[in-house]
Amino acid sequence: MRIAQIAPLYESVPPKLYGGTERVVSYLTEELVQQGHDVTLFASGDSRTAAHLVQGSETALRLNPEVRDPWPYHVVMLDKIKRRAGDFDALHFHIDYYHFPLFREMASRTVTTLHGRLDLPDLPPVYKAFPEMPLVSISDHQRTPLPAANWAGTIYHGLPRDLLKFQPDARRSYLAFLGRISPEKRPDRAIEIARRTGLPLKIAAKVDRADQAYFDEHIRPLLDDPHVEFVGEIGEAEKSAFLSGAIALLFPIDWPEPFGLVMIEAMACGTPVIAWRRGSIPEIVEDGVTGVIVDSLEGAVAAVPKAMVLDRAAIRRRFEERFTAERMARDYVRLYQSLGGAPTQPALDRRPVSTVTEAAFDRAQVQRSSTLEFVAAA
């Protein structure tokens, strides 16, 4: 198939450091090429890929100090894609809903993976206005706020099988927190879990400018503890060692997480996940197999000894069975073919909308939109 992958321009593909969406786009793109498809990647010019690269900007926008407004670059890229749309059997967008008006007349050849939260109050009108656009959720729970949207399938993220190494003999001596410092990720909970268990905690996380005040006011004072080590942001090459050395990955979120890539990164290393029962967690973590699902700090503390005795080889096997890039790419190809009108493989089964709901949600913790975060960080 001739496939276009359209990435956001904030980070390169793959990103040099943090960047979940761009990382998934990279994994999918490279695996599609490996499986023999003709793939064109629309992304920042500093991206690295085996596909045909068409640059939407010279460099990743977040790392360019001269860029203040990201949208002119995305508009120019969308025009390039529109003019070349006839070259592709499928156009796969990863940029939220911004392409809908330009591509609605060719909706049957498009698919849009939604990578973020969908419970924001301003979103329902746009999906109601463009009902013909096929959407992919990255967990069933992600769909909950928009049950009537045009869901074509749920496809879980995947990692290259050999990206992160399983080291069964690694010495595991600390708890780990990996990702981004922000109120909804609750690093303060991770610190409290470490304090109560008496175990060391290593925090490998980036601090966006938008979250700098939160870090300075709420997290930095908690780092003055001999058990807590703030490592800072780490790259792909450092993750295997970081996660393999951990007793467990702490994922103490306080928001409806749509997937949580770091959880399957831990599983790839055979490291169990201790995670709060929010959003997609019950779909990703198999309680008692790949981790422990909890509902409170007390539950998380009690989960640490339970996580210690889980079979790490079994955790790695479940990663290979459920969360590889090969599986992700095959699922997407079946979906592309079904949308194209003449599938050569069985169409991807539609998954039922999850019945899980959020019992309570504090609107004050609604994550800033990507645009506002970018502007604040500029």
SS3 304: helix
Query: Same structural domain for residues 218 and 75?
Result: no
Query: Same structural domain for residues 86 and 10?
Result: yes
CATH code assigned at 293? 3.40.50.2000
Query: Same structural domain for residues 207 and 288?
Result: yes
Encode pLDDT of 76-103 as tens digits: 999 999 999 999 999 999 999 999 999 9
Query: Same structural domain for residues 143 and 234?
Result: no
Encode pLDDT of 47-71 as tens digits: 999 999 999 999 999 878 899 999 9
pLDDT higher than 50, residue 355: no
Domain count, the chain: 2
Of 285, 305, 321, which residue constitutes the final position of a domain?
Answer: 321
Give domain status of residue 168, yes or no: no
Which residues constitute the domain of residue 276? 174-321
In this prediction the pTM is 0.87
DSSP H helical ranges for the chain: 20-34, 71-83, 100-103, 124-129, 187-197, 212-214, 236-244, 261-268, 281-284, 297-308, 312-322, 325-339, 370-377
Give domain status of residue 164, yes or no: no
Query: Same structural domain for residues 124 and 207?
Result: no
Query: Same structural domain for residues 125 and 204?
Result: no
Give domain status of residue 167, yes or no: no
Of 321, 346, 367, which residue constitutes the final position of a domain?
Answer: 321
Query: Same structural domain for residues 282 and 194?
Result: yes
Nearest to 79 by CA among 94, 101, 60: 101
Whole-number pLDDT of residue 165: 93
